[in-house]
């Protein structure tokens, strides 16, 4: 059984035409790879009391149908249930792809030929197996399985996804169709999502999916629950993971009740606890994590209309490496020059300062209605609240006070209409309204790094795809976004003058308080985005995709307003009010082959970004407490050029190898220097042995080689008060290349139902290698995580 099924649906309208309901629909369900037919698939016509099962030859038939649009629900024991709409209108032939999630152990390996948000962009999906294997990790760790996705870490638990070299606000995370508003602007702000809450995770590289937002210059991560089958059923899944590194684990459980009427209710919860993580040679003191998540889904889906209510809660308390808390630039110089961390304590589960605690609430209500001969109207309201506390090491009366306390509240209303009545041509138009308010609590007693602000967004988009013929599909889209940010911010008079704001922004001062100024910056941004591309199916095995995406992103609050000492990072971060939107033009292409024996995907891209916003170390500022490194935001023109390549081969029915390579080169074209924080090239190879006869036994060995990043900006020279001379602050030099091995094995057993228990054992960093990664902000202080052996038990019921 392979990844995809093709459903060939043949429409044979009867001789008697017009409004007589005598049309016949004949469909055939075929395996994508070996063209074998699939019997036993259940096909329901939603909203009508029609149901059938595909026969031995994979065929099914519905008679006496009226012309018009029908929605089919196709479920198969080994597939994810799929809803497709078909138009019955004369003799028609249409070919629809289904994603095939397997219950059996054969890997679901995907080359991007999966449920698509676009036809022409580079898209990849994460298999349910990969999600299960990363159940105890973060979303970023799980996404790393996808070629071209890497991570920006602050230690082992704060993991931000990086797509083709870009991260943060350039990546849009869509949680059950709600755009996450979780302060993604900070380098030490990880996405506030539980990787276990959604089992359908895909990545769209680049801004082609403009339906979701016009500013996703890096890409879009789509998290969705698996669709619920319309039958009377109750099922659940519980997974337990135990890890040696961190001496803890997590448990996640979900329960789904569905009814034939289309009503469903689903609840899911997770809890995770890890103590201090360990590098090969020492404990990484204060790197524990407590995390809990909860989600609830209630809805009803019918052909004509449907609704859904969704609520999710996520809370995480994450320790920040104690040794990364430094006083001033001399401490940083000493830390960089020393091979061992300044603080190593005994292992503990306790999390103390510095640490962060983040809570995210997300609520959504959505409704859709289908109008015959017209299309489908969908509307959605969502609410999010993100509360972030950052606790630093403070002394005296303030010891237990947070240094940063932000509350970000967002309301969004979305609506769209999809015109799909015409076969082979879909048009979707939509609008978005959003209000966001940030409150920075003054009780911290620390000057606000991010100010209070209100933000208003309004967007309009239209996207279409047109099937020229069975081989060519064309995507086009356009979008306009208006965004206004209205902030109230205090500036120190000295900073105000140093930045030259007294010349450029004198009119936004609303109150002069002596040493500080209260200002009211209000900025409007008008951003346009557009995309065009094609998908050419060369033959059954080969595909070619090409996409051009133009996108603009307004600066985020951190880029505009950051001002002051970021205590936990011991660095002064300076935004700039003059920063404007950045504009990206990205060309991407992919050539793919997918056969039973082997397959590949080669996907080059070129992303040219005008007014690219970046933050980098620029010098030091002196205070009575010593000197602190200054990280400043600036804009420049940049080009990112790269390639993601993937190859697999089934040597026998039991042995398979996978090979992945990703490379990206980032250049500041104004100064012709390398960009900061561009992931190093990496090359991953794995060999997997599976034997379905031995309880679906699987064992795989993976080798990951990460090259040394040889292109990086120059280090900066600073005056060291301690040494009383100028020294080079070696803050940009990347660490050496490294090679890691990991092992994974699993098998499934039958307790009550077939293969309802899966047991897996994995080891990452098998050889306990000492290494540091360029994109880990704690690389100055400590080695990365050592060996981790983890056991997982997955029980379906």
Partner 1 sequence: MKTSTTMKRNKTLKTVLALSLMATVMTSCSSDDDTPEIINEEEIITTLTVTLTSANGTATLQSQDLDGDGPNAPVITADNLTANTTYTGSIELLNETESPAEDITEEVEEEADEHQFFFSLNGSLTDVTYSDEDGDGNPIGLEFELTTGDAGSGSITITLRHEPTKPNDGTLADAGGETDIAQTFTVVVE
By the criterion CB under 8 A, which residues form the site for partner 1? Answer: 305, 307, 327-328, 330, 342, 365, 367, 369, 379, 381, 383, 385, 393-396, 409, 411, 413, 435, 437, 439-440, 442, 444-448, 451-452, 454, 488, 490, 492-495, 498, 511, 513, 515-516, 518, 564-565, 572, 621-626, 628, 721-722, 724
Distance in angstroms between the alpha carbons of the first and the last residue of the chain: 23
CA nearest neighbour of 677 among 580, 581, 776, 611: 776
**Residue 359: CB minimum distance to partner 1, A:** 15
Cis upstream peptide for 219 (omega within 30°): no
Q: Which is nearer to partner 1, 358 or 565 (CB)?
A: 565
Rounded-to-integer distance, Cα 6 and Cα 505, Å: 61
Tokens, residue 90:
């004369």
3 state DSSP class of 510: strand
Q: Which secondary structure element, helix H or strand E, spans residue 491, and what is its range? A: strand 472-492
> 489 — phi, psi (to 5°)?
-135, 140
**Residue 111: CB minimum distance to partner 1, A:** 40
**Residue 353: CB minimum distance to partner 1, A:** 11
**Residue 634: CB minimum distance to partner 1, A:** 16
Q: Which is nearer to partner 1, 73 or 452 (CB)?
A: 452
Ranges of H-type helices in 338-417: none
Tokens, residue 411:
């309301």
- Kindly provide the residue ranges of all beta strands, DSSP E only, lying in 624-692, ordered along the sequence: 626-650, 655-668, 673-674, 682-691
Rounded-to-integer distance, Cα 745 and Cα 567, Å: 43
For 727-736, b/e burial (b = at least 16 CB within 10 A) is eebebbebbe
**Residue 413: CB minimum distance to partner 1, A:** 7
Rounded-to-integer distance, Cα 675 and Cα 667, Å: 5
Q: Which is nearer to partner 1, 564 or 692 (CB)?
A: 564
* Tokens 């629909």 sit on residue: 25
DSSP string for residues in 518-549: EE--EEEEEEEEEEEEEEEE-SSSEEEEEEEE
Q: Which is nearer to partner 1, 141 or 573 (CB)?
A: 573
**Residue 392: CB minimum distance to partner 1, A:** 10
Residue partners of 49: CB distance under 8 A and separation at least 6: none
Q: Which is nearer to partner 1, 394 or 779 (CB)?
A: 394
Q: Which is nearer to partner 1, 18 or 395 (CB)?
A: 395
3 state DSSP class of 563: strand
Q: Which is nearer to partner 1, 177 or 379 (CB)?
A: 379
For 194-229, b/e burial (b = at least 16 CB within 10 A) is bbbbbbbbbbbbbbbbbbbbbbbbbbbbbbebeebb
**Residue 414: CB minimum distance to partner 1, A:** 11
For residues 749 and 757, the answer to whether their CB atoms sit within 8 Å is yes
Q: Which is nearer to partner 1, 272 or 499 (CB)?
A: 499
**Residue 309: CB minimum distance to partner 1, A:** 10
**Residue 159: CB minimum distance to partner 1, A:** 29
3 state DSSP class of 164: coil
Q: Which is nearer to partner 1, 5 or 326 (CB)?
A: 326
Rounded-to-integer distance, Cα 208 and Cα 367, Å: 25
Q: Which is nearer to partner 1, 313 or 771 (CB)?
A: 313
Q: Which is nearer to partner 1, 201 or 630 (CB)?
A: 630
Q: Which is nearer to partner 1, 149 or 449 (CB)?
A: 449
- Kindly provide the residue ranges of all beta strands, DSSP E only, lying in 156-232, ordered along the sequence: 158-163, 171-175, 178-179, 200-205, 219-224
Q: Count CB-CB contacts under 10 A for residue 34.
A: 10
Q: Which is nearer to partner 1, 486 or 756 (CB)?
A: 486
| Rg (alpha carbons) of the chain, rounded to whole number | 27
166 DSSP assignment: B
For residues 423 and 94, the answer to whether their CB atoms sit within 8 Å is yes
Q: Of all residues in the chain, what percent are helix, strand and coil, respectively (each to 5)?
A: 5, 55, 35
**Residue 701: CB minimum distance to partner 1, A:** 43
Q: Which is nearer to partner 1, 515 or 652 (CB)?
A: 515
**Residue 385: CB minimum distance to partner 1, A:** 8
What is the bridge-based pairing of β-strands 509-512 and 738-749?
Answer: unpaired
**Residue 268: CB minimum distance to partner 1, A:** 23
**Residue 366: CB minimum distance to partner 1, A:** 10
Q: Which is nearer to partner 1, 271 or 371 (CB)?
A: 371
CA nearest neighbour of 194 among 319, 315, 277, 296: 315
> 32 — phi, psi (to 5°)?
-60, -40
**Residue 147: CB minimum distance to partner 1, A:** 41
Q: Which is nearer to partner 1, 516 or 755 (CB)?
A: 516
β-partners of residue 794 are: 239, 758
DSSP string for residues in 26-75: EEEEEETTT--B----EEEETTTTEEEE--TTSEEEEEEEPSEEEEEEEE
Q: Count CB-CB contacts under 10 A for residue 346.
A: 7
**Residue 48: CB minimum distance to partner 1, A:** 16
**Residue 369: CB minimum distance to partner 1, A:** 7
Tokens, residue 441:
């609590």
**Residue 398: CB minimum distance to partner 1, A:** 8
Rounded-to-integer distance, Cα 656 and Cα 107, Å: 10
For residues 706 and 737, the answer to whether their CB atoms sit within 8 Å is yes
**Residue 399: CB minimum distance to partner 1, A:** 9
Q: Which is nearer to partner 1, 207 or 572 (CB)?
A: 572
Helix H, strand E, coil C: the string for 81-104 is: CEEEEEEECCCEEEEEEEECCCCC
Tokens, residue 53:
């099962």
Q: Which is nearer to partner 1, 182 or 644 (CB)?
A: 182
């Amino acid at each position: 059984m392979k990844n995809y099924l093709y459903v060939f649906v043949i429409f044979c309208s009867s001789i008697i035409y017009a409004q007589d309901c005598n049309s016949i629909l004949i469909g055939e369900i075929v395996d994508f790879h070996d063209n074998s037919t699939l019997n036993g698939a259940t096909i329901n016509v939603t909203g009508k009391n029609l149901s059938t099962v595909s026969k031995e030859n994979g065929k099914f038939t519905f008679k006496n149908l009226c012309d018009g649009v029908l929605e089919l629900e196709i479920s198969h024991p080994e597939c994810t249930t799929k809803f497709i709409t078909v138009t019955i209108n004369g003799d028609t032939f249409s070919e629809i792809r289904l994603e095939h999630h397997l219950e059996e152990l054969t890997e679901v390996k995907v080359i991007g030929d999966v449920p698509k948000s676009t036809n022409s962009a580079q898209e990849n999906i994460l298999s349910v197996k990969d999600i299960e294997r990363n159940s105890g990790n973060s979303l970023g760790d799980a996404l790393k399985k996808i070629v071209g996705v890497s991570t920006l870490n602050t230690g082992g638990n704060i993991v931000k996804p990086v797509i083709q070299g870009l991260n943060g606000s350039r990546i849009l995370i869509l949680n059950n169709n709600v755009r996450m508003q979780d302060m993604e602007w900070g380098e030490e702000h990880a996405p506030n999502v539980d990787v276990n809450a959604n089992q359908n995770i895909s990545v769209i590289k680049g801004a082609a999916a403009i339906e979701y937002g016009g500013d996703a210059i890096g890409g879009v991560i789509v998290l969705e629950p698996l669709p619920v089958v319309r039958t009377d059923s109750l099922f659940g899944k519980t997974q337990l993971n135990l890890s040696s590194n961190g001496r803890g684990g997590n448990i996640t459980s979900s329960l789904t009740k569905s009814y034939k009427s289309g009503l469903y209710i689903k609840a899911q919860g997770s809890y995770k606890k890890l103590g201090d993580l360990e590098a090969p040679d020492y404990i990484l003191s204060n790197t524990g994590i407590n995390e809990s998540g909860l989600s609830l889904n209630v809805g009803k889906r019918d052909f004509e209309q449907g609704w859904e209510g969704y609520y999710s809660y996520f809370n995480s308390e994450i320790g920040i490496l104690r040794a990364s808390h430094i006083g001033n630039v001399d401490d940083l110089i000493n830390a960089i020059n020393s091979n061992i961390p300044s603080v190593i304590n005994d292992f503990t589960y306790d999390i103390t300062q510095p640490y962060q605690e983040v809570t995210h609430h997300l609520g959504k209500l959505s409704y859709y209605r289908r109008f015959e001969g017209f299309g489908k109207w969908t509307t959605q309201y969502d609410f999010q609240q993100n509360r972030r506390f950052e606790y630093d090491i403070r002394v005296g009366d303030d010891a237990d006070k947070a240094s940063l306390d932000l509350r970000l509240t967002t309301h969004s209303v979305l609506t769209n209409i999809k015109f799909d009545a015409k076969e082979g041509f879909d048009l979707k138009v939509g609008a978005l309204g959003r209000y966001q308010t940030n409150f920075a609590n003054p009780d911290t007693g620390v000057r606000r790094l991010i100010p209070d602000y209100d933000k208003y967004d309004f967007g309009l988009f239209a996207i279409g795809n047109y099937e020229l013929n069975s081989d060519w599909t064309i995507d086009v889209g356009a979008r306009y976004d208006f965004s206004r940010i209205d902030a109230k911010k205090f500036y120190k008079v000295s900073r105000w003058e140093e930045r030259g704001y007294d010349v450029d922004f004198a009119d936004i001062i609303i109150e002069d308080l002596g040493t500080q100024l209260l200002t009211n910056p209000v900025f409007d941004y008008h951003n346009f985005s557009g995309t065009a591309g094609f998908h050419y199916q060369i033959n059954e095995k080969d595909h070619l995709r090409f996409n051009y995406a133009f996108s603009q992103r307004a600066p985020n609050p951190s880029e505009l307003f950051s001002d002051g000492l970021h205590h936990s990072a011991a660095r002064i971060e300076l935004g700039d009010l003059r920063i404007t939107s950045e504009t990206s033009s990205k060309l991407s292409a992919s050539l793919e082959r997918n056969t039973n024996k082997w397959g590949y995907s080669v996907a080059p891209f070129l992303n040219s970004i005008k007014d690219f916003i970046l933050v980098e170390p620029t010098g030091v500022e002196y205070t009575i407490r010593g000197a602190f490194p200054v990280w400043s935001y600036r804009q420049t023109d940049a080009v990112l050029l790269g390639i993601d390549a993937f190859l697999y081969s089934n040597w026998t029915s039991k042995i398979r190898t996978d090979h992945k390579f990703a490379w990206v080169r980032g250049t500041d074209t104004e100064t012709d220097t390398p960009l900061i924080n561009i992931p190093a090239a990496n090359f991953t190879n794995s060999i997997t042995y599976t034997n379905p006869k031995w309880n679906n036994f699987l064992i795989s060995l993976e080798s990951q080689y990460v090259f040394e990043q040889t292109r990086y900006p120059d280090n900066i020279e600073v005056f060291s008060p301690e040494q009383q001379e100028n020294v080079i602050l070696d803050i940009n030099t990347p660490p050496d290349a490294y090679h890691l091995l990991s092992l994974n094995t699993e098998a499934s057993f039958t307790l009550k139902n077939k293969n309802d228990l899966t047991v897996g054992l994995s080891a990452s960093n098998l050889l306990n290698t000492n290494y540091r990664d360029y994109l880990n902000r704690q690389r100055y202080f400590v080695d990365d995580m050592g060996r981790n052996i983890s056991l997982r038990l997955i029980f379906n019921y």
